[in-house]
Amino acid sequence: MARKPTSVRSYLDSLPQDRRAAIGEVRRVILDHLAPGFEEVAHPGGINYVVPHRLFPAGYHCDPKQPLPFACLASQKGHMALYLMHLYLDPEETERFRSSFAGTGKRLDMGASCVRFKSLDALPLGVIAETLGRTTVSSYVSAYVASRGGVGGGVEGSGRPVRAKKARAGSGDARKTKPAPARAAGKAVKKRVSKVSAAGGRSSKPSSSRAKARATSRPGRAG
């Protein structure tokens, strides 16, 4: 019985040569354009890009022990797939992505968040780079929490619900409250990312990950 890959390197090594080259190149583009805060982690079924618990303690609502997923790169039986969860949460970004993809003349094979491709040439890497670059950790967490009606975020992304502050009598504006749960969670995450960056740079381990990605993929530019 074949052992399941336990690292990004072992996952790539487990792929056929053509798939390894294609997945490796898409991975390079992801690492080069991923916003600060996201982190690459190994997964038995692919390569995941997540919001780590140190930035969003609540984690993924389906399994809080798991970090909040953002993207996933995987080799399936009949195709390769790039899962972009932010597209599922943001209709405007989805429309922008579809329009940019169509503008390249390539055929888009897409589900709710899964972009399927059978070869590297079928995927416009420039479009992938652009949508990744437009999405920050804080904006993604805000969209995620909003999609769940404010549940699972909390003011510090801890999973505790945010309670609106009642306006004092005679304050002149009874509508003034604390920020909505989604906005509050996004702000909390943004502060954490800033602290990590100030302490030692980007928190998504780019130096080693990028170097390894370049070493395992063919040269080329996103576009």
pLDDT of residue 191: 63
pLDDT of residue 187: 61
AA identity, residue 9: R
Task: Give a yes or no: residue 212 inside a domain.
Answer: no
**In this predicted model, what pLDDT tens digit does every residue of 188-215 receive, in sequence order?**
655 666 555 555 544 444 444 554 554 4
Q: What is the CA radius of gyration of the chain?
A: 19
How far is it, in rounded angstroms, from Cα 58 to Cα 78? 35
Q: Which residue has the higher pLDDT, 184 or 24?
A: 24
Residue pair 220/25 in contact (Cβ under 8 Å)? The answer is yes
- State how many domains the chain has: 1
Q: What is the mean pLDDT of residues 16-31?
A: 97
**Does position 80 have pLDDT exceeding 80, yes or no?**
yes
**In this predicted model, what pLDDT tens digit does every residue of 143-153 receive, in sequence order?**
999 998 876 55
Residue pair 153/58 in contact (Cβ under 8 Å)? The answer is yes
Among 3-12, 68-77, 179-188, 194-203, the range scoring the smallest mean pLDDT is: 194-203
Among 28-32, 44-48, 213-217, the range scoring the smallest mean pLDDT is: 213-217
How far is it, in rounded angstroms, from Cα 159 to Cα 145? 10
- Counting other chains too, the contacts that 86-92 makes at CB distance below 8 Å and 24 or more residues apart are 86/113, 86/131, 86/135, 86/140, 86/143, 87/112, 87/113, 87/131, 88/112, 88/113, 89/140, 89/143, 89/144, 89/146, 89/147, 90/143
pLDDT of residue 213: 53
**In this predicted model, what pLDDT tens digit does every residue of 109-143 receive, in sequence order?**
999 899 999 999 999 999 999 999 999 999 999 99
How far is it, in rounded angstroms, from Cα 50 to Cα 162? 24
Residues of the domain holding 57: 8-137
Task: Give a yes or no: residue 198 inside a domain.
Answer: no
Question: What is the CB neighbour count within 10 angstroms for residue 165?
Answer: 9
Task: Give a yes or no: residue 187 inside a domain.
Answer: no
Among 40-44, 119-123, 164-168, 207-211, the range scoring the smallest mean pLDDT is: 164-168
Task: Give a yes or no: residue 126 inside a domain.
Answer: yes
Task: Give a yes or no: residue 82 inside a domain.
Answer: yes
pLDDT of residue 174: 43
pLDDT of residue 190: 58
Task: Give a yes or no: residue 129 inside a domain.
Answer: yes
Q: The tokens of 55 are what?
A: 């930035």
**Does position 76 have pLDDT exceeding 50, yes or no?**
yes
Residue pair 175/169 in contact (Cβ under 8 Å)? The answer is no
Task: Give a yes or no: residue 83 inside a domain.
Answer: yes
Task: Give a yes or no: residue 121 inside a domain.
Answer: yes
Looking up residue 118, the CATH number of its domain turns out to be: 3.90.1150.200
